[in-house]
Structure 1
Amino acid sequence: MSAQIEPGQSQATDVVTFGETMALFKADTPGPLAHVPGLSLGIGGAESNVAVALQRLGTSVTWLGRVGNDSLGDLVVRELRAEGITVAPIRDDAAPTGLMIKERRTADAVKVWYYRSGSAGSRLHPDDIPADLIARARLLHVTGITPALSSSAALATQQAIDCARAAGVLVSFDLNYRAALWPQEAAGRQFRQIMAKADIVFAGDDEAAIAVGPAPGPGELASRIAALGPTQVILKRGAQGCLALIDGNEYAREAVPVRVVDTVGAGDAFVGGYLSEMLRKSDIDQRLLTANQVGAFACLVPGDWEGMPRRAELHLLDPSDPVSR
């Protein structure tokens, strides 16, 4: 059963992305989870985080994925639709929506507990992939989390990429390695297969090394990835900023300094910022600047995506223009 666009929503979209979005309980205060006074309910998922970043920057997005036929599935769909994202859910009567719980053991240390084994999102299947929807998009964005969820989800990822390539649609891939889901050797093999079909690749230094082996520096890591086929390789380097290898030319940009509250979701925000500017045909410097800015905004508040900015807010991180009038 392929994903269905919900009634009343347009099928025209710039970006299609898919994966597992889960319900999220996050501790309201730092401390052991067993003793915090309360939990706040929300949602989170790497692909939907990117979707929020893109949509807030003015790039239209369709998210598709499996959710349970339950209240948490309702929450996922409602929250994404509230952001203006076109939602193409598959309701699974046989499996629940996944859940994660975020514990703030100290003000700076965050631990996330996942309850996703056998979840609806992990049951994504190649038959769920809407080839016609992907063919009408400008870009398909996938991550390395989805193929780690199950063999059927891995096949669905490859199916979506093949649909995009057949239609001449750009493919963006963020490695997003999760050690709890699979070992490095298996992840590296899958990453290389996907990178060989991708146009744009995002990775952290450690993730890149899983895919192409250790290297003396980020430039060499980017070069090894580019040798597999992608024309745009962007390394997300946190407080060190970012490095990009675009059509064989290397670019670097420093991070935007902020007082960090929560880094979860910052990498997804960075990806959304870069892709939005790329689709606007902005130059490389502007792509990297916006990516760093959106990533920095995501660090300013607790939550995976809540702090991501609208385009009109990007100037707020410019120290020369901090006041809105």
Structure 2
Amino acid sequence: MPRVLHTAQALVDIIVEVDALPERGGNTNARSEQRYAGGATTILISAARTGASAVHGGAHGTGPNGDLIRAALERDGVLIADTPRTSADTGYCLVMLEPTAERTFLTVYGAERDVTAESFARMDPQPGDLLCVSGYTLFEPTREPLLQFLDTLPPGVEVVLDPGDAFAQFPRELQDRVLSRTTVWTSNAHEARAVSGIDALVDTPLALRRRMAPRSVIIVRDGSRGCLVFHHGRGTHIPAFPQRAVDTNGAGDTHTGVMLAERALGADWESAATRANAAAAIAVTRRGPESAPTRAEVDEFLA
């Protein structure tokens, strides 16, 4: 069975609930604080809870944050390809969560940046595997190790790009180098518009497709409206299941993890996206990035 592999950073999310963000130079009080395993772990845990084999290939540290990451992955059966770095702890992301479910982020780096092409290769990617790449790994110092690793992939490995807000900032040459190896694009609407340069969402997949590897698939999430799946020269709108959101943190990653797991288990893209929409709908009704539902919960929701 194909596996879901991830090269990106696993970080601890420290989520503080605030009534509103303070003005610059101001102050506010948090109503609560919770710590979760975030970053790449959300996609991998979502895939594992769906029933796929999942492997993390990024680096992780030695300390309370690294311990939290490893415990979360191991709890859901996600394999960890690399060994802990003894020189530093894993970094964290401070997430300020407002009552509207809007989020603001501040990231502090740690051992997750200590990667090499050889450390990524410990995942042992095989034809058919779905290998996730994050736009945030294309910042230095993780850029060159990732690019070197991508150049060594055997034919048949599906490279899944989750661009994030970062990807549109990079030079066109770097974008094209990554897109030429990408066979699956998954992003939200804002990210797709930023990279394609096209406002009309329905036209963004074709513009992206022209820059990607042959026979590529583009999935663009559009919030409560669902997502667009584009492949074989046509796009299909997959409706969402709107819910009252209490925390949108991790919803996009949950969507990606479930969709890739469904593909690994043999579903077509449209069926995989439908179940991913359902999983994301469940996730936004729960707090924290480890909110991905199990396969049985998605079944019950769709029933």
Residue in structure 2 matched with residue 87 of structure 1 by the alignment: 80
Structure 1 residues not aligned, in runs of 5+ = 1-11
Question: After superposition, what is the alpha-carbon deviation per residue over 1:173-200, rounded to whole angstroms, capped at 9, x for unaligned?
Answer: 111124xxx8x44265533321211111
Residue in structure 2 matched with residue 162 of structure 1 by the alignment: 151
What amino acid sits opposite 2:135 in the alignment?
G
Residue in structure 2 matched with residue 7 of structure 1 by the alignment: none
SS of 1:145's equivalent?
helix
Residue in structure 1 matched with residue 249 of structure 2 by the alignment: 264
Q: Is the 8 A contact 1:241 1:254 kept in 2?
A: yes
Residue in structure 1 matched with residue 258 of structure 2 by the alignment: 273
Question: After superposition, what is the alpha-carbon deviation per residue over 1:154-182, rounded to whole angstroms, capped at 9, x for unaligned?
Answer: 12222332233x2421211111124xxx8
Residue in structure 1 matched with residue 202 of structure 2 by the alignment: 219
Deviation at 1:135, TM superposition (A): 3.1
Question: After superposition, what is the alpha-carbon deviation per residue over 1:281-325, rounded to whole angstroms, capped at 9, x for unaligned?
Answer: 223331221121111122111111x2211111113333xx4xxxx
SS of 2:59's equivalent?
strand
Residue in structure 2 matched with residue 317 of structure 1 by the alignment: 301
Is 2:183 the partner of 1:199? Answer: yes
Tell me how far apart the structure 1 counterparts of residues 175 and 42 of structure 2 sit (CA, whole Å). Answer: 21
**TM-score, structure 1 normalization:** 0.82
* CA gap 1:170/1:13 in 2 versus in 1, 3 angstroms: closer
Q: Which deviates the most, 20-29 or 290-299?
A: 20-29
Q: Is the 8 A contact 1:129 1:159 kept in 2?
A: no
Residue in structure 2 matched with residue 8 of structure 1 by the alignment: none
Is 2:8 the partner of 1:19? Answer: yes
Identity of matched residues, %: 21
Tell me how far apart the structure 1 counterparts of residues 8 and 165 of structure 2 sit (CA, whole Å). Answer: 14
> Which structure is richer in relative contact order (CA contacts within 8 A, separation 6 or more)?
2
SS of 2:178's equivalent?
helix
Please give the residue correspondences for 1:1-325 in structure 2 after superposition, counting only pairs within 5 Å: 14-27=3-16, 30=19, 35-36=29-30, 38-45=32-39, 47-116=40-109, 119-130=110-121, 133-135=124-126, 138-148=129-139, 150-151=140-141, 153-164=142-153, 166-178=154-166, 184-186=168-170, 189-213=173-197, 215-230=198-213, 231-304=216-289, 306-318=290-302, 321=303
* CA gap 1:37/1:266 in 2 versus in 1, 3 angstroms: closer
* CA gap 1:132/1:300 in 2 versus in 1, 3 angstroms: closer
Deviation at 1:30, TM superposition (A): 4.9
Tell me how far apart the structure 2 counterparts of residues 248 and 13 of structure 1 sit (CA, whole Å). Answer: 25
Q: Is the 8 A contact 2:250 2:291 kept in 1?
A: no
Tell me how far apart the structure 1 counterparts of residues 37 and 169 of structure 2 sit (CA, whole Å). Answer: 30
What amino acid sits opposite 1:36 in the alignment?
A
Tell me how far apart the structure 2 counterparts of residues 162 and 263 of structure 1 sit (CA, whole Å). Answer: 35
